[in-house]
Chain A
Amino acid sequence: MTLNVRVIPVLLLKNGGLVKTVGFKDMTYVGDPINAVKIFNDKEVDELLFIDIQAAKENRRPNFELVSRIGREAFMPFGYGGGIRNLDDMSRLFRLGVEKVTLNSCAIENPDFVEEAAHNFGSQSVVASIDVKKDALGKHWVFDYRNGSATKLDPVEFAVLMERKGAGEILLNSVDRDGTFDGYDIEIIRKVTLPVKVPIIALGGAGKLEDFGKAVKMGGASAVAAGSFFVFHGKHRAVLITYPDKDALRKAFSS
């Protein structure tokens, strides 16, 4: 048999609370992280991913106290990203119950750190997180969220490099689709999944269940992630934390 496709809510942390962005801007406060974990426990979510979107920008370490509180309530695999700069940070996070760390800005700065991390903790616990943005000509570039601008890195080449350095998974996030509900950027997912063997997790743009199926069938993604899809409800975007039931998910991937 093949495994069910993993469906992963991505929760953004800022000042100890949860926020959600559109196009990496326009932040909305969506609630308390511990409360969200409890809801996702009840809904038997496959995995959770927390990303502190301020830590690296402010050049600070992960908020270990908050991660510890999350760990005490999260009885599913959960990842953490944001502000990780060395192996000690990673060790501390694993001791608090984190299953995987995602590396983003430090992977751009120093790809060898991914290698060091994979060597020390195993590839299965290292996720390379790549943000991508299209330029006016429609070409995709790796995006550096710290200064809000594109780098000169080609996302496909960078993903291949990350795999070679030992990343066990790649989280591919479209800045253009972030918070839009317009569906995933299938084009870039397809381009990255072709040469890369490790699982690609698609992120950015999911608005309905069918989008999950498309990312897998048309894009070749191994897992799907989303933010707004799990925290907003209806056209007025009322905050409501939800997760589809198992039958609905099975249908989304089988049709």
Chain B
Amino acid sequence: MIVVVDYNMGNIGSILNMIKKVGGEAIISSDQEQIKNADKLILPGVGAFDAGMQNLAKLGLISIFRKKVTEQKTPVLGICLGLQLLTERSEEGIMQGLGLVDASTVRFKFVSSSGLRIPHMGWNSVVIRKESPLFHDMYPNPVFYFVHSYHVVCRNAEDILSTTDYGYDFVSSLQSGNLFGTQFHPEKSHKYGMKLMKNFVELVH
């Protein structure tokens, strides 16, 4: 069973809707036991970094989550803020992240003449940089839906799965072992998101 971790950060109904659509089984839960027993975890999230970490801490999920990733090697998909929480820290807040991937989270920085707005909101191209089960058999020229003001910087270039151009190329998805993360919202991204979600659902570990 896939557990979509519910820690009160944003709209998660659409993730469940899409998993069902691609033939997977999932529940939304914040229950420690259910999360301990999950075959796969999805960490969703929209909102502020510190609020996200605080909510995870309040629910007593931080050490459970770490154990699942590092000891049980449970496949995890972090989406948007969920991806950023997997990193060590963020310029958005002062709290420590989960630190499960060798990366940190920074704010978009543009020269003022760029005319680019923050948040980066809308559809954008995703350029796949590396083979990965997540993008297995992906449609050509994939586009995904983004809403975010911060993005991840990987220290280990090998973790980068895809980049996207908004003012400059930033990391739009990554993989480090059993840990996956997307800055975009696959659950809102038509057939491209459906394919990615199906790949995660069908992933064998």
Ranked nearest first, the 3 interchain pairs of A and B with the lowest CB-CB distance are A94-B11, A97-B14, A97-B13
Interface residues of A (CB under 8 A from B): 1-4, 6, 41, 44, 46, 71-72, 74-77, 94-99, 121-122, 124-125, 199, 222
Given contacts A1-B165, A75-B190, A75-B194, whether A99 and B14 have CB atoms under 8 Å apart is yes
Q: Is the CB of A77 within 8 A of B13?
A: no
Verify A99–B121 contact, CB threshold 8 A: no
Is there an interface contact between A95 and B17, defined as CB atoms closer than 8 Å?
no
Cα distance, A74 to B194, chains bound together (Å): 11
A46 with B122: in contact, given A1-B166, A77-B188 (CB under 8 Å)? yes
Quick check: B46 and A3 within 8 Å, CB to CB?
no
A182 to B146, CA, bound (A): 33
B interface SS class: mixed
A9 to B11, CA, bound (A): 21
Contacts of B194 in A (CB 8 A): 75
Q: What is the distance, in angstroms, from B201's C-beta to the closest C-beta of chain A?
A: 15
Q: Which of B95-135 contact A (CB under 8 A)?
A: 115-117, 119-124
Which of B17, B116, B191 is in CB contact (< 8 Å) with A71? B17
**CB nearest neighbor in A for B28:** A95
Which residue in chain A gives the minimum CB-CB distance to B119?
A124
Contacting residues, chain B, for A94 (C-beta < 8 A): 10-13
A94 CB to nearest B CB, Å: 4
Those of B116-174 within 8 Å (CB) of chain A: 116-117, 119-124, 145, 147, 165-167
Chain A residue at minimum C-beta to C-beta distance from B120: A3
- Is the C-beta of B18 less than 8 angstroms from some C-beta in chain A? yes
B199 within 8 A of A: no
Known: A3-B121, A4-B123. 14 other contacts (CB 8 A): A1-B165, A6-B123, A71-B13, A72-B17, A75-B18, A75-B188, A94-B12, A94-B13, A95-B13, A99-B11, A99-B14, A99-B188, A122-B46, A122-B48
B145 with A77: CB separation less than 8 A: yes
Task: Give chain B residues whose Cβ lies under 8 Å from the Cβ of A6.
Answer: 122-123
Partner of B46, one of A76, A96, A125: A125
Within the complex, the shortest CB–CB distance from B98 to chain A, in Å, comes to: 21
Q: How far is the CA of A149 from the CA of B145 in the complex (A)?
A: 38
